[in-house]
Chain A
């Protein structure tokens, strides 16, 4: 079965805006992928309709069916990780083997205090 994993170097997965997010992805695929893409994304949860946003992304070259690589992406200015009464914002790093490969996710926190802002 094809697998892909993502790990952050920072153990607590908490970042301040502008900080470099570094880590490692590993894959074991049935066929060679065109690229391995690491992408930042956020989404809201709570009482309201969901909003989903994309941040930066890095495309890693993929020469083999099985392998690993490091990545580095700057944490964006915002939106901050947030937990309010009506909604919250969660950040994720998504890694996918394009075009049809498996995906994996790693949650992280983005704020100046390195913890979710509470209302």
Chain B
């Protein structure tokens, strides 16, 4: 049983991984500026441009020599009339874009045959400026996404400890934050911040998911891909859309919960030793009788991280649960003398928490949890310190 060899084996040299993540982040940021931010600014600038009828005078695919292969765009000319004056325009979209997909450009040229009547958009301040296409964000806007996701993944991995920094493994820390200089003493446990945190997390997921779906839909609509949506890709897109709507619904629900009345808990000591006690008080929010079925519980839970097929999964098991509810709005919380203290190792944890559940008339039901620290019983009355750093 070679403990240190185990530790060394599990340790990884992550310097290269961090540089790799940083480079991907840099490329992702640059591409975001070029392919998302600048086109978006342009798009916003033309939001007020005015629709006007126009006639296509010429329309053909143009070939350019790229660095490694030929690239294409469209050369268009069209005439239009604005406020009684005639103009000619040659702009298809607001910013130039060349790609190697000749067939796509031919399809676009086919949609603007010579002599056909189309709609262009005219700058009311400078009517000599016009464009055929207002929405300029295309599928190219998705290009930075893989770079940003890789970079995010690397830095999330490092921050969460899934990717370890350093050439050698560090001995696992197990002590709760309180024993490493965290806060002790009385505390008011307000769930608002926790609810906002959950909202922000879910909101970000919904934003990214729906942003991608919207870009794909906009591109499909803009390029006439709508006809192809009956294919399998179309079905996939639909299911992505349903997930996006579900995410938006869940985000809206979370937003409501943020403003829902909250039971405010006050705890005399937020770090209680095994076998110790503290006083817990609470105030009911809202009108008298608005909150019913209040249940306050102290819970201890084991949580382990299991690696399955290269992915980390969490498994949890509640091993202690005690109802603390009383009619007085106050109770004594006693931690049993033969139980496990809080443990915050990397993959194996024991988490103590207070859970508040209640029905609130006119609002979603309350279900908040607050972390509680249970310390090892101090030996011979000694205080806890950084005793083995």
Contacts and interface: CB of A to CB of B under 8 A. Distances in A.
A51 to B, nearest CB: 4
A112 B348 CA distance: 21
Interface residues of B, number: 48
A113 B336 CA distance: 12
Contacts of A59: none
Interface string B339-360: 1110101111010000000000
A47 B304 contact: yes
A43 B319 contact: no
Contact of A119 (B171, B319, B387): B319
B3 A87 contact: no
Contact of A112 (B7, B312, B377): B377
A52 to B, nearest CB: 5
Interface in A40-54: 41-44, 46-54
Interface in B375-389: 376-380, 382, 384, 387-388
A77 B379 contact: yes
A87 B317 CA distance: 10
B174 A51 contact: yes
Given A77-B379, A79-B376, A84-B319, A51 B345 contact: yes
Contacts, number: 126
Given A44-B345, A51-B346, A82-B340, A77 B378 contact: yes
B2 A48 contact: no
A53 B1 contact: no
A75 B380 CA distance: 12
Given A52-B171, A84-B317, A119 B3 contact: no
Given A17-B376, A47-B304, A52-B171, A85 B3 contact: no
Given A17-B376, A49-B307, A82-B340, 10 more contacts: A18-B380, A47-B315, A48-B347, A52-B7, A76-B387, A78-B341, A79-B343, A82-B343, A94-B3, A112-B338
Interface of B: 1-3, 6-7, 10, 169, 171-175, 179, 274-275, 300, 302-307, 312, 315-317, 319-320, 337-341, 343, 345-348, 350, 376-380, 382, 384, 387-388
5 smallest beta-carbon distances between A and B, as pairs = A18-B379, A48-B304, A119-B319, A49-B347, A78-B376
